């Protein structure tokens, strides 16, 4: 008797995660081992609460898969749910009861590190209890921080949006013949891949961004200010891109500096204000931390007495489907379909990976890796891909990202706006 | 003997102002009255400082005009310079000396209210001194607040970007099955046209944005919170769009509320905190005003104890040329070319305007108005286009904006990114 399969999505949204879902659905339709492909709503919690839809039926609706392919965020919804480490917890029997009820032969989880932890635990439980269900992870994260794979679905689209937006902001900045500093804050708490992508906005040497700060290198406020000061002697408009997660040498997030601390830090000649305890919390309990962009904007304004603006690209970098990378969506779909293949080969406790066969011409192929090497691990930008001065990236890193942003996606516009699922 | 003409740009950047410049250049090329079209750099200051380029020559470069048409910001650069009211000021003789030297018969200024003040003064001076130079204003502003014209070049593209982005943010917001509030801050200090455009993101009744607050109506913190509280009983994710310039009933900007004042305002049961003087300025002299989005985020978090995020669309709404409205760019170019026509008809001290001939099918024609009716005036959203409850716009206003965002612009991508001039 044929089995069914079930797919779910988890973690934060991207422009490409629904393309991966398309890959799973079309892969299952084309595979003789599976009858019906179900979609659990809101990740693994959809299985726990018997909340799912029939994707095989939906795929028969004309145009559904084409529209799903370019729809941002998560068609099936997300969750932030960590399975307990204890396999005797009743949630496991609940999950497997549901999977039996649906006659499931394979479970696919599209997500990042945390989602791979779920795959790791469910496949571990299945092995222990001799359950004949395969658990396969399909990667997804704009952060590009998953190990064992060349790059992650969603990253290329976010990188393309960031590079294009930084280029457009550059045009916006250059119109006045007055000196100015623009600080663009980009996502990435621990890994600087997205901020690195801003380098692609340049066409010629000297183009913006003039400084790029990743969280992989300790951020030094004094040399940051020196760099900007020097650059302003060469040009009117200095543009800086920073990861939200940059930290000082003691490991403290720059965005955690309160205005009062920053003031003191400056007035005492940049001796660390870390030991000082300024309680600036109001009755809300808020300590009024701004994003790192706002903190640096305040700093530059005060120290350099110059027109300064900070721009937080915010969630737009992960949901701007109208600027998705065609390469990214195609690879996302390919990896979704490859998950089906792995499951039919009885692979479990694995994640689909991508290997770069060659960079020019750009070519990748799908493979897989043991989930234990991926779950709860993170891949940073290697030190060798950051310039020795700590405020730019190397040509190698640019060459690595460039193929991933290639190609534009054809979006259907209705009444002047993109149409999504 | 043929005369030459000169064009300059001023004010803030838009995605359409270079399309207007294209219109002036092509209009001058096709017009037998003009020999050469010059471009003054950085607005009127380019004339004062003899800083200009030959646009007729540049237009001969293959592909130049096509690329200029879709390039955001300002090709000629901008300035913030107000001519003195006193015509005996030496700057006037300096300007007219320059214009004589270049054998100028017509001067075109592409910009907003302030730029029209320059046209008003220069045409006034010319009339007084019997100078045979015509001064014509070409409108431009994303704010859509110029009087005497149906709408302004740049507004349609910004409106399209805002509506598309709000729709994409909506997708990003809905993935978790938890209650949340998202506040999207949109440009518009005094006029709510741009924020009104967010209504176009909806496809069905009940779609986001659920509340739209324009600066034309006093903002009431208590009813704002009540509205959100009620809406959260109906749906999980409430999305609000607000103009940066919303003010309380006493005319004070909401973004000027300091955290301490907001705390007190709340703790005293929303009696106005206006009379209180909380000096929260640090040694920078900053009073730590956040944008209105951040202020409302803090307020909602504290009062409703709910996941809240604010997003400032920032300069992207005026420079995202990759999402420009084809209708907007075409009309911008048309108005640029019409300026040439007006000048050859010896019109001076006027601005090109647009009349809406019909809405369905959408059709406009160019006309002109006396500059005195436009310079330093501003057009607000009429009260009748805001719903009586004060937190949404009427169908009439949607019908007014919808034609302006129609059509997508064909941008050349190179290496995965838009190519501009």
pLDDT single digits (tens) A131-187: 999 999 999 999 999 999 999 999 999 999 999 999 999 999 988 889 999 999 999
Q: Report in angstroms the alpha-carbon separations of B111 from A102, B105, B117, B133, B374.
A: 64, 20, 10, 19, 12
Write out pLDDT tens, residues A276-289: 444 444 334 444 44
The model's pLDDT over B371-409, given as tens digits with 9 standing for 90+, comes to 999 988 899 999 999 999 999 999 999 999 999 999 999
Answer whether residue A265 shows pLDDT above 80: no
Chain A interface test: which of B17, B45, B175, B295 (most A C-beta within 10 Å): B175
Q: DSSP state, B391?
A: S
- For residue B271, what pLDDT is reported? 61
Convert the pLDDT of each residue in B339-359 to its tens digit. 999 999 999 999 999 999 999
Residue B270 has pLDDT above 70, yes or no: no
Q: What is the pLDDT of residue B262?
A: 77
Look at chain B and count its residues.
421
Chain A positions in Cβ-Cβ contact with residue B80 (cut-off 8 Å)? 176
| Angstrom distance (rounded) from CA B129 to CA A104 | 89
Q: With a threshold of 0.80, does the pTM exceed it?
A: yes
B260/A282 CB distance under 8 A = yes
Residues B294, B310: contact at Cβ < 8 Å?
Answer: yes
Residue among A42, A171, A284 minimizing CB distance to B73:
A171
For the segment B13-54, what is each residue's pLDDT rounded down to a tens digit?
999 999 999 999 999 999 999 999 999 999 999 999 999 999
* pLDDT value, residue A289: 45
d(CA A152, nearest CA chain B) in Å: 18
Alpha carbons A309 and B312: distance in angstroms, whole number: 13
Q: Over range A317-329, report the average pLDDT.
A: 94
What average pLDDT does the segment A293-316 reach?
A: 92
The partner residue sitting opposite B416, judged by closest CB among A72, A260, A405, is: A405
Q: Is residue A113 pLDDT above 50, yes or no?
A: yes
Q: Which residues of B touch A79 (CB under 8 A)?
A: 176-177
What is the arithmetic mean of pLDDT over A187-194?
Answer: 95
Which chain B residue lies closest to A73 (C-alpha atoms)? B172
Residue A193: pLDDT band with limits 50, 70, 90 = very high
| Cβ contact A417–B407 (<8 Å) | no
pLDDT band at B370 (very low <50, low <70, confident <90, very high): very high
Catalytic residues of A: 143
* Residue B392 annotated to the active site: no
How far apart, in whole angstroms, are the C-alpha atoms of residue A286 and residue B259? 9
pLDDT of residue A272: 54
Question: What does the alpha-carbon distance between residue B118 and residue B319 come to, in Å, rounded to a whole number?
Answer: 24
- Are B402 and A415 an interchain contact pair (Cβ–Cβ within 8 Å)? yes
pLDDT at position B264: 76
* Distance (Å) from the alpha carbon of B314 to chain A's nearest alpha carbon: 7
- The reported pLDDT for the residue numbered B273 is 47
If you measure CA to CA, which chain B residue comes closest to A201? B417
A311–B314 CB contact, under 8 Å: yes
Closest CA to A242 of A315, A158, A313: A313
For A70, name the nearest residue in chain B, comparing CA atoms only: B168
Please state the rounded mean pLDDT for residues B188-216. Answer: 96
* Shortest Cα–Cα distance, A315 to chain B (Å): 7
Find the mean pLDDT for residues A314-343. Answer: 95
B77/A177 CB distance under 8 A:
yes
Range B247-258 average pLDDT: 90
Contact A259 B282 (CB under 8 A): yes
Q: Are A351 and A149 within 8 A, CB to CB?
A: yes
Per-residue confidence (pLDDT) for residue A176, from 0 to 100: 86
| Closest chain B CA to residue A178 | B79
- Separation CA B329–CA B72 (nearest Å): 11
Pairing type for strands B34-40 and B362-370 reads: unpaired
CA of A178 vs chain B CAs: smallest distance (Å): 9
Residues B307 and B305: their CA atoms lie apart, in Å, by: 7
- State the nearest Cα–Cα gap between A228 and chain B, in angstroms: 19
CB contact (8 A) between residue B169 and residue A79: no
* B317-338 residue pLDDT tens: 999 999 999 999 999 999 999 9
Whether residue A266 is predicted with pLDDT greater than 80 in this model: the reply is no
Mean pLDDT of all residues in B117-140 = 97
Find the farthest-apart pair of alpha carbons in chain A and give their distance in angstroms, rounded: 75
Smallest CA–CA distance from A72 into chain B, residue: B171
* Mean per-residue pLDDT, A39-44: 97
pLDDT higher than 60, residue B274: no
CB A187 within 8 A of CB A194: yes
Residue A268: predicted pLDDT: 73
How far, CA to CA in Å, does A358 sit from each of A150, A196, A362, A366, B179? 11, 21, 5, 13, 46
Chain B residues near residue A290 by CB distance under 8 angstroms: 290
Looking at the complex, report in whole angstroms how far the Cα of residue B368 sits from the nearest Cα belonging to chain A: 28
State whether residue A97 is helix, strand or coil.
helix
Higher pLDDT, A260 or A354: A354
A73–B172 C-beta distance less than 8 A = yes
- Which residues in A lie closer than 8 A to residue B263 (C-beta atoms)? 282-284
Cβ <8 Å between A417 and B319: no
Model confidence band, residue A290 (pLDDT cutoffs 50, 70, 90): low
Mean pLDDT on A7-25: 96
Catalytic residue among B114, B143, B145, B328: B143
Taking CB atoms and an 8 Å cutoff, what residues of chain A touch B312? 312, 314
Please say if the pLDDT value at position A219 is more than 60: yes
Residues of B with CB below 8 A from A176's CB?
A: 42, 77-80
Percentage with pLDDT > 90 across chain B: 82
Determine whether the interchain pair A168/B290 forms a contact, defined as Cβ–Cβ distance below 8 Å.
no
Nearest to A288 among B78, B169, B288 (CB): B288
Nearest to A290 by CA among B248, B270, B282, B276: B282
Which residue of A172, A260, A302 is in closest CB contact with B315?
A: A172
Residue A275 has pLDDT above 70, yes or no: no
CA distance A396 to A391: 15
Say whether pLDDT at A236 is over 80. Answer: yes
B311·A311 Cβ contact <8 A = no
Closest-CA distance of chain A to residue B335, Å: 22
- Rounded to whole angstroms, how far apart are CA atoms B231 and B167? 19
Cβ of B406 and A416 within 8 Å? yes
Please provide the average confidence, as pLDDT, over all residues in chain A.
92
Residue B365 CA, distance from chain mean position:
21
């Amino acid at each position: 008797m044929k089995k069914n399969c079930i797919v779910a999505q988890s973690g934060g949204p991207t422009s490409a995660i629904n393309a991966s879902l398309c890959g799973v659905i079309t892969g299952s339709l084309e595979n003789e081992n599976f009858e019906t492909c179900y979609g659990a709503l809101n990740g693994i919690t959809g299985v726990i609460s018997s909340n799912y839809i029939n994707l095989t039926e939906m795929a028969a609706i004309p145009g559904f898969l084409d529209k799903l392919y370019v729809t941002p965020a998560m068609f099936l919804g997300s969750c932030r749910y960590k399975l307990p480490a204890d396999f005797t917890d009743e949630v496991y029997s609940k999950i497997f009861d549901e999977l039996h009820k649906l006659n499931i032969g394979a479970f696919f989880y599209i997500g990042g590190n945390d989602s791979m932890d779920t795959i790791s635990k469910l496949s571990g439980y299945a092995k222990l209890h001799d359950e004949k269900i395969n658990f396969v992870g399909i990667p997804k994260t704009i952060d590009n921080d998953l190990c064992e794979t060349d790059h992650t679905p969603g990253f290329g689209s976010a990188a393309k949006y960031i590079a294009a937006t930084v280029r457009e902001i550059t045009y916006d900045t250059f119109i006045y013949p007055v000196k100015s500093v623009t600080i663009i804050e980009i996502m990435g708490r621990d890994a600087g891949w997205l901020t690195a992508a801003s380098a692609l906005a340049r066409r010629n040497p000297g183009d913006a961004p003039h400084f790029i700060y990743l969280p992989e290198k300790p951020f030094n406020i004094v040399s940051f200010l020196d760099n900007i000061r020097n650059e302003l002697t060469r040009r009117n408009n200095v543009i800086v891109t920073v990861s939200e997660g940059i930290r000082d040498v003691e490991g403290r997030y720059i965005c955690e500096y309160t205005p009062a601390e920053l003031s003191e830090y400056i007035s005492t000649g940049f001796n660390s204000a870390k030991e000082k305890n300024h309680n600036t919390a109001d009755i809300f309990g808020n300590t009024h931390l701004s994003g790192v962009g706002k903190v640096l904007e305040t700093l530059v304004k005060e120290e350099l007495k110059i027109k300064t603006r900070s721009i937080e690209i915010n969630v737009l970098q992960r949901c701007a489907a109208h600027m998705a990378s065609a390469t990214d969506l195609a690879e996302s779909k390919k990896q979704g379909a490859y998950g089906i293949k792995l499951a039919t080969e009885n692979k479990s406790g694995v994640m689909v990976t991508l290997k770069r066969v060659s960079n020019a011409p750009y070519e990748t192929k799908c493979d897989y890796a043991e989930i234990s090497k991926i779950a709860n691990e993170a891949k940073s930008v290697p030190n060798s891909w950051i310039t020795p001065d700590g405020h730019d990236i190397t040509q190698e890193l640019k060459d690595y990202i460039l193929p991933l942003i290639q190609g534009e996606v054809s979006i259907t516009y209705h009444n002047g706006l993109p149409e999504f699922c």
